[in-house]
C-alpha cells in the first residue's frame, strides 16, 4: 500500500480535486501524510503488538472484516482502518465511499494492482450494495460516517453479534473564554472551518464566546475567514454534492442570526465560509451537525457553554481556548467527548500512540496505531498448567470439604472500614493487591516463581503454606487477649480502637498515656519497654488482672530524626532501646506462653526503611532492619526448635505513615503516604485472618525488598531521591529526653 500511495500521488490528488475541489497541499497533508504515517507506525510496531504476553495472551486476527469508508477523506478514512486490519492478519472487504466518485474509481484500480486479492477486495456501489454487504456475516465491521447511517450498520451487525467500531461525528463546540488569546483562537477556528470546507467530523460546529470578548473575537474571526477564502485564487474546497449544498444553504436561509459571508471563488457547490452572529440556542444552524463552512457564534460564559453542550449528545471533540488552568479543568471535568484539543483545533487526531474515537452518538471503539490493531484482534488467553500442580489443587475435586473454603476466601483488602470511602483515605500508589504484596519470597524461590509463571492462586497457596508451616490455627475472639505495644496513639492507638470496636479484649503497653477515651475492654499499663525488669513486673500484673495475652502486636517505635554523627548517645539509646531491645524483651516476655500452648500470634510492625536507609534515619532504619531479621529468624526457630507450628508470626512493613513521629517528612515523587487508619485496618485484617503474613503496605510498593539485590547505583539513586524527604526531619518527641 505504501508504494501504491507513492507511485500514484499525483493521481490521488487529482481525484480528490475532482471530488472535493481539494488543493494539492491539503490533499497531501490531510489524506496522504496521515495514511503514510499510520503505515509506518504499523510496520515499526507490528511485532511488538502481535507478540504473546505473559500468561499467555495471544493476539489472533478476527477473520474476514468489513471496512466502510467516508467520502470527506476517501483515502485516509477508508485505507487507514484497512492498514490496521491487514496488520492484524485479517482479510478485508472494503466499501469505498460512492459520493467521491473519482477517488472510488482510482482506489478500485490501485488496490487491484497493488494489493493481493486474497487479502483485500473492493466492493463499489451505493446504498443498495452496502445494504447487501451488511446482510453478510463478517467478523468485524468498521464504519466511518454519519450517526444516522451508523444506526443501520449497528442494527445489521447485531443480527450476527458482529462487533463494530463506529467513527461518527457530532456538534463539536469551541469554547472561547475571556482569558483566551482572541486572535489566535479566531485564526485557528477559521482554519477548522476552511479546511475541506468544514466537511470534517472533527470540525468546529459552533463557537461559544464569553460576552466580554465577543465583539473582538467576531471581528478577528471575520478577518481570518476572509483572509483564508478571499478571491478567485482561493484554495477553498467545494461541497461534495448538490444535496449537501442545498441543505447548508437552506439552514443558512432559515437562521435568525446576522450573516457575514466571505468573498471567494464561485462555482458549482461552492459555499464561501460564513460567520453567523447573534445566534440563539434554538436557531436552525444548531439543529443538526453542520458539516460545512458555516460558523455560528453564541454569547456564553464557559459555564453556560458546558451546560449547553451537556444538554445534547456527546460530541466527537471539544476545543477549549483559555490561558486559565482552572477554566480548562472545569470544562474537562464537566463534559464528555471523544477527544479535546486545548488552544488549537483538530490536533489531537494525529497524536502518535493515542486512541481516536467517539463516545455515545459520536462513536464507539477506537483506532490509530496499536488501538487500530487491537480493534481487529482477538486476545486469546492461553494457560498451560503443569501436571504436578494437581497435588496442590486437589482440594477442588469432590467429595468437597468445607474446610478447604479458606483457599477461596477473598479477604478484605479494601483499606477502609464500612461507611468510609476511598476519598477518606490518603494512600499513595495503587490499592490493588499484587502478588508481590501477598508475601515476600526471597532469592531463588521468588526467581523460581517468576520463571515457572505460577498463577495467582497457586502462588497464594504456596506463600500461605510456607508462612504458616502448612498447619491450621483457630482463634476464638471471644477468648483471645491482644497486647499492643505503643498503643497510646498513632498506628498502635488506631489498631487498639479497631480491635476494641469488635468486642476483643485489648491490653496497651506504653510509657505514654492514652490520647483517646478507652472503652471497658481496653486495659492500659504504663511500662518502659527498654527496662526488662519493669516489663516482667507489669507482665505479671497483666496475667493476674486480665489474663495471658495470646496475640501481641509489637508496634512500639521511636525515631529521633538526626544524622548518625549528630545523634547523641541518648538519641541512639532511645531508638535502639525501644525499637530493637524493647522488641526482643517483649518477645521474650510473652512469646514463651504461646509456644508452650502452641497457640498465638506475634505481629511485628517493621518499616520499608529496613530495606533502604537514607538521611536522618540511619539508626531508625538499622533498628527496623533488625526487626525484619528478628521476624525471619523467629519464624524458623518456631518451626525447628520449638515445634510450635500453630503459632503465627507476621511482619508488616509500611511506607510513610501520617503520625506525629514523622510530621517533618516532606513529600517526594514516588513516596507513598498513608493514614494510621489505613495501616491499622491492614494489621487487624491479618490478625482476624488467623494466618501469618509478611506484607508490604501499600501493595504497590511490593518491590521494596528488591533494593537489597539491585545494583549499588540503583540503590544510591533511590537513596538520593528519598533524601529530600528527611533532610529537615523534626519528629514529635514525646519523651523530651534530648534537645
Please give the grid coordinates belonging to residue 485.
505495644
Taking 70 as the threshold, does the pLDDT of residue 508 lie above it?
Answer: yes
Beta bridge partners of 91: 64
Q: What is the pLDDT of residues 648-701, one digit of tens each?
A: 999 999 887 867 666 656 555 555 667 888 899 999 999 999 999 999 887 666
Q: What is the mean pLDDT of residues 509-520?
A: 92
Distance CA 270, CA 214 (A): 28
- The mean-pLDDT minimum among 167-171, 450-454, 546-550, 571-575 falls in 450-454
Q: What is the mean pLDDT of residues 217-225?
A: 96
Taking 90 as the threshold, does the pLDDT of residue 265 lie above it?
Answer: no
Please give the grid coordinates belonging to residue 254.
432559515
Taking 60 as the threshold, does the pLDDT of residue 507 lie above it?
Answer: yes
**What confidence score (pLDDT) does residue 454 get?**
44
What is the four-CA torsion angle of 433, 434, 435, 439, rounded to 10 degrees? -60
CATH number, domain 474-726 = 3.40.50.720
Give me the residue label for grid cell 504473546. 52
Mean pLDDT of the chain: 86
Edge-first strand listing for the sheet containing 647-654: 522-526, 505-510, 481-485, 551-554, 600-605, 647-654, 694-697
Please name the residues in contact with 269: beta carbons below 8 A apart, sequence gap of 6 or more. Answer: 238, 239, 240, 241, 242, 244, 245
The residues of the chain that CATH labels 3.40.309.10 are 173-348
Q: Which of 491, 579, 557, 559 is nearest to 726 (CA)?
A: 559
Q: What is the pLDDT of residues 116-131, one digit of tens each?
A: 888 999 999 999 999 9
Taking 50 as the threshold, does the pLDDT of residue 432 lie above it?
Answer: no
Q: Is the dihedral of CA 92, 98, 99, 102 positive or negative?
A: positive
pTM, full prediction? 0.58
CB 530: neighbour CB atoms within 10 A? 20
**What confidence score (pLDDT) does residue 614 get?**
79
- The mean-pLDDT minimum among 91-105, 342-356, 392-406, 589-603 falls in 392-406
Distance CA 279, CA 408 (A): 63
Q: What is the mean pLDDT of residues 614-628?
A: 89
Helix (H) or strand (E) holding 165: strand 164-167
Q: Which of 207, 295, 298, 308 is nearest to 251 (CA)?
A: 295
Distance CA 690, CA 380 (A): 38
Active site residues: 167, 201
CATH number, domain 2-168+374-378 = 3.40.605.10
Would you place residue 437 in the very low, low, confident or very high pLDDT band (cuts 50, 70, 90)?
very low
Taking 90 as the threshold, does the pLDDT of residue 435 lie above it?
Answer: no
Q: Which of 605, 668, 666, 682 is nearest to 431 (CA)?
A: 682
Give, in order, the Cα–Cα distances in Å from 398 to each of 148, 392, 511: 55, 15, 55
Please name the residues in contact with 526: beta carbons below 8 A apart, sequence gap of 6 or more. Answer: 510, 511, 513, 538
Give, in order, the Cα–Cα distances in Å from 509 to each of 53, 307, 461, 477, 650: 51, 59, 35, 20, 19
Q: Which of 176, 229, 237 is nearest to 30 (CA)?
A: 237
CB 147 within 8 A of CB 293: no
**What confidence score (pLDDT) does residue 491 get?**
92
Taking 60 as the threshold, does the pLDDT of residue 221 lie above it?
Answer: yes
Helix axes 147-159, 127-134, angle to 10 degrees: 30
Taking 60 as the threshold, does the pLDDT of residue 545 lie above it?
Answer: yes
CB 90: neighbour CB atoms within 10 A? 23
The residues of the chain that CATH labels 3.40.50.720 are 474-726
Q: What is the pLDDT of residues 124-155, one digit of tens each?
A: 999 999 999 999 999 999 999 999 999 999 99
User: Residues of the chain with pLDDT > 90: what percent?
Assistant: 61
Give, in order, the Cα–Cα distances in Å from 646 to each of 425, 550, 635: 34, 12, 11
Q: What is the pLDDT of residues 346-392, one digit of tens each?
A: 999 988 889 999 999 999 999 999 999 999 999 998 887 778 778 77
CATH number, domain 173-348 = 3.40.309.10
The residues of the chain that CATH labels 3.40.605.10 are 2-168+374-378
Burial of residue 355 (number of CB atoms within 10 Å: 0-12, 13-18, 19+): middle
Q: What is the mean pLDDT of residues 521-550?
A: 95
Amino acid at each position: 500500500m505504501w508504494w501504491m500511495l507513492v507511485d500514484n500521488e499525483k493521481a490521488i490528488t487529482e481525484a480528490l480535486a475532482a471530488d472535493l475541489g481539494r488543493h494539492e497541499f491539503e490533499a497531501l497533508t490531510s489524506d496522504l501524510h496521515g495514511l503514510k504515517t499510520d503505515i509506518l507506525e504499523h510496520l515499526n510496531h507490528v511485532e511488538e503488538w502481535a507478540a504473546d504476553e505473559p500468561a499467555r495472551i495471544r493476539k489472533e486476527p478476527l477473520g474476514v472484516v468489513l471496512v466502510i469508508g467516508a467520502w470527506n477523506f476517501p483515502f485516509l478514512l477508508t485505507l487507514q482502518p484497512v492498514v490496521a486490519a491487514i496488520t492484524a492478519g485479517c482479510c478485508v472487504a472494503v466499501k469505498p465511499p460512492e459520493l467521491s466518485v473519482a477517488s472510488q474509481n482510482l482506489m478500485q484500480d490501485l488496490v487491484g494492482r497493488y494489493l493481493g486479492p486474497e487479502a483485500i477486495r473492493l466492493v463499489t456501489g451505493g446504498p443498495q450494495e452496502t445494504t447487501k454487504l451488511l446482510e453478510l456475516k463478517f467478523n468485524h465491521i468498521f464504519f466511518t460516517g454519519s450517526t444516522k447511517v451508523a444506526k443501520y450498520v449497528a442494527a445489521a451487525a447485531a443480527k450476527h453479534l458482529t462487533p463494530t467500531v463506529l467513527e461518527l461525528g457530532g456538534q463539536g463546540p469551541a469554547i472561547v473564554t475571556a482569558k483566551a488569546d482572541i486572535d489566535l483562537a479566531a485564526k485557528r477556528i477559521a482554519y477548522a472551518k476552511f479546511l475541506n470546507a468544514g466537511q470534517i467530523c472533527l470540525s468546529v460546529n459552533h463557537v461559544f464566546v464569553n460576552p466580554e470578548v465577543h465583539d473582538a473575537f467576531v471581528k478577528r474571526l471575520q478577518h481570518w475567514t476572509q483572509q483564508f477564502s478571499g478571491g478567485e485564487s482561493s484554495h477553498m474546497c467545494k461541497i461534495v454534492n448538490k444535496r449537501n449544498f442545498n441543505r447548508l444553504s437552506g439552514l443558512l436561509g432559515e437562521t435568525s442570526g446576522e450573516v457575514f459571508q466571505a468573498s471567494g471563488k464561485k462555482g458549482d457547490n461552492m459555499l464561501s465560509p460564513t460567520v453567523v452572529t447573534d445566534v440563539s440556542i434554538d436557531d436552525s444552524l444548531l439543529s443538526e451537525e453542520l458539516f460545512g463552512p458555516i460558523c455560528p457564534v453564541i454569547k456564553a460564559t464557559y459555564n453556560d457553554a458546558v451546560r449547553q453542550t451537556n444538554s445534547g449528545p456527546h460530541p466527537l471533540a471539544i476545543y477549549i481556548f483559555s490561558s486559565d488552568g482552572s477554566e480548562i479543568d472545569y470544562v474537562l471535568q464537566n463534559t464528555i467527548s471523544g477527544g479535546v484539543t486545548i488552544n488549537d483545533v483538530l490536533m489531537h487526531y494525529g497524536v502518535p500512540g493515542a486512541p481516536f474515537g467517539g463516545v455515545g452518538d459520536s462513536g464507539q471503539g477506537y483506532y490509530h496505531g496499536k488501538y487500530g490493531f487491537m480493534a481487529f484482534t482477538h486476545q486469546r488467553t492461553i494457560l498451560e498448567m503443569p501436571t504436578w500442580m494437581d497435588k496442590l489443587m486437589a482440594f477442588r475435586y469432590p467429595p468437597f470439604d468445607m474446610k478447604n473454603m479458606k483457599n477461596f476466601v477473598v479477604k478484605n483488602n479494601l483499606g477502609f472500614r464500612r461507611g468510609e470511602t476511598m476519598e477518606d483515605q490518603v494512600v499513595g500508589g495503587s490499592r490493588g493487591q499484587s502478588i508481590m504484596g501477598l508475601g515476600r519470597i526471597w532469592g531463588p524461590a521468588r526467581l523460581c516463581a517468576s520463571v515457572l509463571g505460577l498463577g495467582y492462586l497457586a502462588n497464594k497457596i504456596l506463600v500461605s503454606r510456607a508462612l504458616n508451616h502448612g498447619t491450621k490455627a483457630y482463634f476464638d475472639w471471644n477468648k483471645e487477649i491482644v497486647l499492643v505495644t505503643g498503643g497510646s496513639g498513632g498506628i498502635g492507638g488506631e489498631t487498639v480502637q479497631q480491635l476494641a470496636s469488635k468486642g476483643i479484649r485489648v491490653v496497651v503497653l506504653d510509657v505514654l498515656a492514652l490520647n483517646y477515651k478507652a472503652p471497658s475492654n481496653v486495659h492500659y499499663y504504663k511500662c518502659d519497654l527498654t527496662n526488662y525488669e519493669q516489663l516482667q513486673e507489669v507482665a505479671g500484673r497483666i496475667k493476674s488482672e486480665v489474663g495471658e495475652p495470646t496475640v501481641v502486636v509489637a508496634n512500639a517505635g521511636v525515631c529521633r530524626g538526626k544524622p548518625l554523627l549528630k545523634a547523641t548517645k541518648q538519641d541512639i539509646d532511645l531508638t535502639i532501646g525501644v525499637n530493637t531491645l524493647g522488641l526482643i524483651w517483649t518477645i521474650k516476655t510473652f512469646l514463651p506462653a504461646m509456644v508452650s500452648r502452641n497457640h498465638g500470634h506475634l505481629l511485628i510492625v517493621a518499616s520499608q526503611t529496613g530495606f533502604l536507609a537514607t538521611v536522618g534515619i540511619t539508626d531508625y532504619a538499622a533498628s527496623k532492619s533488625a526487626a525484619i531479621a528478628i521476624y525471619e529468624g523467629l519464624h524458623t526457630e518456631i518451626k525447628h526448635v520449638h515445634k510450635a507450628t500453630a503459632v503465627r508470626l507476621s511482619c508488616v512493613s509500611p511506607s510513610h505513615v501520617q503520625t506525629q513521629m514523622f510530621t517533618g517528612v516532606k513529600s517526594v515523587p514516588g513516596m507513598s503516604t498513608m493514614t494510621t487508619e489505613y495501616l491499622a485496618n491492614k494489621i487487624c485484617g491479618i490478625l482476624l485472618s488467623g494466618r501469618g503474613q509478611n506484607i508490604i503496605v501499600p501493595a504497590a510498593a511490593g518491590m521494596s525488598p528488591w533494593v537489597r539485590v539491585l545494583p549499588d547505583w540503583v540503590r544510591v539513586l533511590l537513596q538520593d531521591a528519598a533524601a529530600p524527604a528527611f533532610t529537615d526531619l523534626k519528629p514529635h518527641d514525646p519523651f523530651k529526653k534530648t534537645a
